[in-house]
A = this chain, B = another copy of it.
Amino acid sequence: MKSLENYWKYINDALNQKLQAGDFDEPKGLYEPCKYILQNGGKRVRASLVLLASKMFSNSYEQALPVALAFETFHNFTLIHDDIMDKAPLRRGIPTVHTKWDENTAILSGDAVMIIAYKFFEESGKYVPQLFRLLNKTALEVCEGQQYDVDLEVANLQDPIVSEETYLRMIELKTSVLIAACLKAGAIVGGASDNDADKLYEIGKMIGIAFQLQDDVLDTFGNEATFGKKIGGDIRVNKKTYLLIKALQTPQSTDKEQLIKLMSSTEFDEKTKYDHVVALYNKAHVKEQSIEKIEEYFQQAMRLVDEIQLPDERKGELIAFMNELVNRNY
Contacts and interface: CB of A to CB of B under 8 A. Distances in A.
Interface of A: 26-27, 29-30, 81, 84-85, 103-104, 107-108, 110-112, 114-116, 118-119, 121-122, 128-129, 132-133, 135-137, 139-140, 143-144, 146-148, 150-151
Main SS class of interface, A: helix
B128 A122 contact: no
A143 B107 contact: no
A30 B146 CA distance: 9
A115 B140 contact: yes
Nearest to A121: B132
Contact of A150 (B104, B119, B139): B104
B108 A85 contact: yes
Nearest to A80: B107
Contacts of A144: 26-27, 30
Given A26-B144, A118-B132, A129-B129, 11 more contacts: A27-B144, A27-B148, A29-B151, A30-B143, A30-B144, A30-B147, A108-B143, A108-B147, A115-B140, A118-B136, A128-B132
A107 B84 contact: yes
Contact of A115 (B116, B129, B143): B143
Contacts of A129: 122, 128-129
Contacts of A110: 107, 111
Contacts of A122: 129, 132-133, 136
Contacts of A29: 147, 150-151
B104 A143 contact: no
List of 7 A-B pairs having minimum Cβ-Cβ separation, nearest first: A30-B147, A85-B104, A27-B147, A112-B143, A115-B139, A119-B136, A128-B129
Contacts of A103: 103
A147 B115 CA distance: 15
Nearest to A26: B144
Contacts of A26: 144
Nearest to A124: B129
A185 to B, nearest CB: 15
